[in-house]
């Protein structure tokens, strides 16, 4: 049971923290007049998005006394129940004579939190929530919340946000006269990813911090949360998934790979583990637009939410890192639409509603590679006329016109800034 006096001290302490913390404003659209749930990978910046929301509320006229911020991962509290949520509300009401806006950070730790959240909204309170578990968005919880919340998936920082942290503004006409500093910083972003705390670490500490975070996700968000008995098999599966970025995989194939490494699992177990990985936001999956319904479910491509994890798990992974970065960038911009296309022609990414297609190739200087990537887009265009076609490379740029098609080749650093 939560001690009410402790709750009071924490409420006042959090008010002090959120008003004084330094912020880099995220390039994320939020309806600050509504109720919001921010979900995503652990340490991706969800709490800072809450802080940003608090600042916006204060700027719009709210007083700090009207802010009830509570961090449910604070090590001073433990094993909370839904009744403790009412204790927090009562503790606030005994200090302040105001109707608060609730900011509830990592509330998924408390069982049945969604009933409390709905009751708050039903009685006229505005609520902001963060969580690191996709089961927060399960069908049952969505039904309980009743469509009263906007759901925003929070990814690590984009390259544009990375440059903000580095205090490196884009020069005028940057698309045409690239800054060497921008390109140099892109290489570090490309390898280490966009997790906020990694960006600000010295180079020698980046890998250590990523390893610590990975282990935290592995043990807390996967092994303990889902009571995984064959934890070594899960770790092997994650590593093999990192090595298999870019390739469509079946659960049978994943199970066979893990089994061949000495940790026998069934395809059903592989399917469960893949679901755990997506539920924890460590990875996300894409379906094949051209596949039949059964294959859409059983054959997918998997990507990591941040490039840093691939660098941590795989050596010499530049090609995988490039495709993973494109996948993350497109997923942030088109979360519901993004797919891949594989039916007599293989195209890495496809947006069916907009009819935009993407190939990813580290370089197309080799004539055979160039022919393969270009021909795939031309064949797709012959099958389904495309509005735009792109090849994303590490550092090459040109426009290819062939068979009535216009294919724009862009270096990754420029493309990600154009699609922030």
Q: What's the pLDDT at 420?
A: 85
Residue 209 lies in a domain: no
The DSSP annotation for 222-273 comes to IIITTT-S-HHHHHHHHHHHHHTTTS-EEHHHHHHHHHHTT----HHHHHHH
How far apart are alpha carbons 251 and 381 in whole angstroms?
31
**Among candidate residues 274, 299, 315, the one where a domain is terminated:** 315
Q: What per-residue confidence (pLDDT) applies to 25?
A: 87
pTM: 0.94
Q: Please check whether residues 332 and 285 belong to one and the same domain.
A: no
Do 325 and 300 share a structural domain? no
Q: How many Å apart are CA 234 and CA 215, to the nearest integer?
A: 12
pLDDT of residue 148: 87
User: Which of 315, 331, 347 delimits the end of a domain?
Assistant: 315
DSSP annotation of 288 reads B
**Number of domains making up the chain:** 3
The domain that holds 36 is classified in CATH as 3.40.50.300
Q: How many CA atoms lie within 13 A of 245 on its CB side?
A: 29
Same domain, 23 and 50: yes
Kindly state whether residue 112 falls inside one of the protein's structural domains.
Answer: yes
- Residue where a domain stops, chosen among 103, 136, 154: 154
Quick check: is 168 in a domain? no
- Let me know whether 369 and 290 are in one domain: no
* Whether residue 338 sits in one domain with residue 304: no
* Contact predicate 340/286, CB 8 Å: yes
Q: Tell me how far apart the alpha carbons of residues 331 and 317 are, in angstroms, rounded to a whole number.
A: 21
- One domain, residues 26 and 141: yes
Each residue's pLDDT tens digit in the chain (420 positions)?
899 999 999 999 999 999 999 888 898 999 999 999 999 999 999 999 999 999 999 999 999 999 999 999 999 998 899 999 999 999 999 999 999 999 999 999 899 999 999 999 999 999 999 988 887 877 767 777 878 899 899 999 999 999 999 999 998 889 888 789 999 999 999 999 999 999 989 989 999 999 999 999 999 999 998 999 999 999 999 999 999 999 999 999 999 999 999 999 999 999 999 999 999 999 999 999 999 988 898 999 999 999 999 999 999 999 999 999 999 999 999 999 999 999 989 999 999 999 999 999 999 999 999 999 999 999 999 999 999 999 999 999 999 999 999 999 999 999 999 998
165 domain residue, yes or no: no
Query: Is 360 in the same domain as 397?
Result: yes
- CB contact at 8 A, 6 and 76: yes
**Which of 166, 104, 133, 378 is closest to 277 using CA atoms?**
133
**Under a CB-based contact definition with an 8 Å cutoff, are residues 265 and 259 in contact?**
yes
Residues 67 and 120 in one domain: yes
Q: Does residue 91 lie in a domain region?
A: yes
Tokens for 348?
A: 């890495």
Flag whether 174 is in a domain.
Answer: no
Query: In CATH, what number is assigned to the domain containing residue 264?
Result: 1.10.10.10
Q: Is residue 205 part of a domain?
A: no
pLDDT of residue 135: 77
Identify whether residues 150 and 10 lie together within a single domain.
Answer: yes
- For residues 16 and 119, membership in a common domain is answered with yes
pLDDT at residue 374, as a whole number: 98
Domain that holds residue 399: 320-420
CA distance 382 to 62: 56
Residue 222 belongs to a domain: no
370 closest CA partner among 402, 326, 328: 402
Which pair of structure tokens corresponds to residue 52? 């940003």
Q: What is the DSSP string of 376-395?
A: HHHHHHHHS--SEEEEEESS
Is there a single domain that holds both residue 10 and residue 146?
Answer: yes
Token pair 């795989």: residue? 314
Let me know whether 373 and 419 are in one domain. yes
Q: Are 278 and 134 in contact, with CB atoms under 8 Å apart? A: yes
Classified as helix, coil or strand, 133 is coil
Determine contact, residues 378/403, Cβ cutoff 8 Å.
yes
């Amino acid at each position: 049971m939560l001690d009410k006096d402790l709750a009071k001290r924490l409420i006042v302490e959090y008010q002090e923290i959120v008003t004084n913390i330094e912020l880099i404003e995220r390039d994320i659209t939020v309806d600050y007049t509504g109720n919001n749930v921010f979900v995503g990978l652990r340490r991706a910046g969800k709490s800072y998005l809450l802080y940003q929301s608090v600042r916006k509320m204060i700027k719009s006229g709210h007083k700090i006394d009207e802010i009830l911020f509570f961090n449910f991962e604070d090590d001073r509290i433990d094993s909370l129940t839904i009744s403790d949520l009412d204790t927090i509300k009562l503790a606030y009401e005994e200090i302040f004579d105001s109707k608060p806006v609730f900011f509830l950070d990592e509330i998924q730790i408390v069982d049945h939190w969604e009933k409390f959240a709905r009751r708050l909204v039903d009685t006229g309170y505005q609520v902001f929530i963060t969580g690191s578990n996709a089961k927060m968005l399960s069908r049952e919880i969505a039904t309980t919340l009743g469509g009263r919340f906007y759901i925003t998936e929070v990814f690590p920082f984009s390259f544009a946000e990375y440059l903000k942290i580095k205090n490196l503004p884009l020069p005028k006409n940057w698309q045409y006269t690239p800054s060497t500093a921008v390109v140099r910083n892109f290489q570090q972003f490309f390898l280490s990813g966009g997790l906020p705390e990694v960006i600000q670490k010295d180079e020698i500490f980046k890998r250590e911090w990523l390893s610590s975070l990975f282990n935290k996700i592995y043990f807390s968000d996967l092994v303990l949360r889902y009571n995984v008995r064959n934890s070594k098999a899960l770790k092997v599966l994650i590593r093999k998934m990192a090595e298999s970025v870019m390739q469509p995989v079946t659960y049978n194939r994943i199970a066979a790979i893990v089994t061949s490494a000495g940790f026998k699992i069934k395809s059903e177990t592989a399917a469960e583990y893949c679901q755990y990985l997506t539920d924890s936001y460590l990875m996300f999956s894409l379906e094949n637009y051209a596949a039949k319904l059964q294959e859409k479910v059983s054959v997918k491509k998997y990507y990591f939410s941040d490039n840093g994890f691939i660098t941590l798990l795989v050596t010499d992974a530049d090609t995988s890192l490039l495709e993973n970065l494109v996948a993350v960038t497109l997923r942030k911009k088109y979360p519901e639409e993004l797919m891949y296309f594989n039916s007599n022609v293989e195209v890495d990414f496809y947006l069916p509603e907009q009819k935009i297609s993407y190939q990813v190739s580290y370089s197309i200087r080799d004539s055979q590679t160039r022919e393969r990537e270009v021909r795939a887009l031309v064949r797709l265009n012959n099958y389904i006329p495309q509005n735009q076609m792109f090849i994303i490379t590490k550092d090459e740029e040109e426009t290819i016109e062939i068979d009535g098609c216009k294919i724009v080749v862009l270096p990754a650093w420029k493309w990600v800034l154009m699609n922030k």
